Chain A
């Protein structure tokens, strides 16, 4: 596990409090999308296909911070679009840190190196760099030559300056487990704090509709990739979630676990599906018909989904629900085995 102790304690305190208060549904990570515009057009991304006027629009820093206040989740993942294109991104990050939030700024790193001066290293801030695999696979995934090398250079620069850096990797059909294992070695050798991995969601608006992983194929791929993990590997994720990806555990989705806020409001029901928007976080939590989502609902759009935003909260919740799951999590953290 690569997550700092202070962050683990903050999340543990928060989850314990929610459980003591008897809250059935609570958010764990706010997915904040301050803008939709991006400087890449990735094959598997269904997030940025909007008319130009909407792409040029962004949430103000005040709107971003108000969303975090409203939601209350201890962790904020700033996604998009490319957040470093946001003109007030430093204000957004500073405001979130001031609120004691742990911030994951998701970036493709094209602008990271030139923007590093605008940020200050802080235990609350981690740059989560999009890396979809080794050089050839990553460049193909983002449809541009040279992006892997730019991102590697930016990671090195950020690590050298004392920033927390993680990687986030989305996997698609055709990923080679052996090459991915070498990729994990390479990322850890760069000095990143940890890695995040997830199968891609089959966005209906994404350009490439042919390479999304089905559930069984995901289990096979993740088992092959993560079996006998190298001791250097650190994942910034719950071990139970990784075991879920490998097919060793089963969870139901927790769609409210990572609520999403963007230009349109609070997205129903989750980060991946757009069935409408609520004006307030409370409205999202109280007026969404959650029974319509997750595998048990038979909703066809949920059947193959194994994405972290729905299942990582389930894994965290499971950790706190039984001594056995907690024991398994601790054992995995100590031994590095999954």
Chain B
């Protein structure tokens, strides 16, 4: 590195440090990082990534260039003030400013899935909705039933983030009960594919990928079907390369959130691997499967064994769901509606 280069980088670091907006740091290996620089020394600079969820330390010797790419918040404030000089905001302006606390909304289908979310919130699930706080963020979880109901819940809650979560069937043979599936996109049977907002996805990926957990984390497409794929043959028929799981809700949630301009995430836990057949009663959507399960048990020892196995898998999946939400919780504070894009 030449002295001229060193001096130029030192000057850029000082400039970026004083800047109240995002900068793009190009490293000598060709990679780029976007974030907010809050500290610097002759050897390093420290920045938050653009979701403000991760602190990054970069050696000054690795930096090839820095550009001031984001809007300068200080200059913007000064412009606004200049423009309205002397004119006051009306007294009716909300006392919360732009910061009315909007909850994180967890949308599930079944009461059993609600238990997993409630466990992560540290509350008990009673009825079809629970509320609580998780890492300082207000959270609401609603069981909307199999297949839908997401749009009106989103409209009512006006959340800052919607998380579609719950159980799903595996379409990838590598996935087992309790594995997590993070949707990079959701595809439904109308042919529409909705890509997950990248910033939220990235934050979730990082949170879920950190530290050991008993299942694996896979990321890819989730298929939102209109009917339950109960048999291995039905599931194989739906499988495609990159398509990991099938559920009945994520499409409706993603579409409703996307249209409302609210960031969303689909996080599913595998209940039934691709080669496992579900009991026939699961084909009929129901608010609760207790009565159909009891009826199924009357079918004899084989049916009872089948039920016991399913209950065990449901327990594993419930724990995995609570674990996933618990891991994702610390980054919830950094998620906001601007990240819907």
A residues with a Cβ closer than 8 A to B are: 37-41, 43, 46, 48-54, 56-58, 60-61, 82, 85, 87-88, 110-111, 114, 139-140, 143-147, 149-150, 204-209, 264-265, 276-277
Contact = CB atoms under 8 A, between A and B. Distances in A.
Contacts of B88: 139-140, 143-145
- For A87, A206, A209, the residue with the greatest tally of chain B CB atoms inside 10 Å of its CB is A87
A326 to B, nearest CB: 40
Interface size class of B (residues with CB under 8 A): 35 or more
Interface string B6-38: 000000000001001110000000000000101
B154 to A, nearest CB: 20
B232 interface: no
Nearest to A87: B136
A53 B21 CA distance: 11
B136 A264 contact: no
Contacts of A265: 39
Contacts of A38: 97
B97 A53 contact: no
A39 B88 CA distance: 14
A88 B134 CA distance: 11
A38 B89 CA distance: 15
Contacts of A52: 336, 338
B81 A50 contact: no
Contact of A51 (B17, B21, B41, B78): B21
B273 to A, nearest CB: 38
A264 B70 contact: no
Contact of B96 (A48, A85, A139): A85
- For B84, B96, B101, B135, the residue with the greatest tally of chain A CB atoms inside 10 Å of its CB is B96
Interface of B: 17, 20-22, 36, 38-41, 46, 48, 50-52, 70-71, 73-74, 76-78, 80-82, 84, 86, 88-91, 93-99, 101, 133, 135-138, 333-334, 336, 338-339
Contact of A56 (B38, B133, B135, B334): B334
Contacts of B73: 49-51
A150 B96 CA distance: 13
A88 B80 contact: no
5 contacts: A48-B77, A53-B48, A56-B336, A111-B95, A143-B84
Contacts of B78: 207, 209
Nearest to A205: B74
Nearest to A37: B99
Contact of B91 (A58, A85, A144, A206): A144
Given A40-B97, A43-B81, A58-B136, A53 B40 contact: no
B41 A56 contact: no
Given A85-B99, A87-B101, A87-B137, A144 B51 contact: no
B136 A277 contact: no
Given A39-B98, A87-B101, A111-B96, 18 more contacts: A37-B97, A40-B97, A50-B73, A51-B21, A51-B70, A51-B71, A53-B52, A53-B334, A56-B333, A56-B334, A61-B136, A87-B137, A143-B81, A145-B88, A146-B90, A207-B82, A276-B40, A277-B38
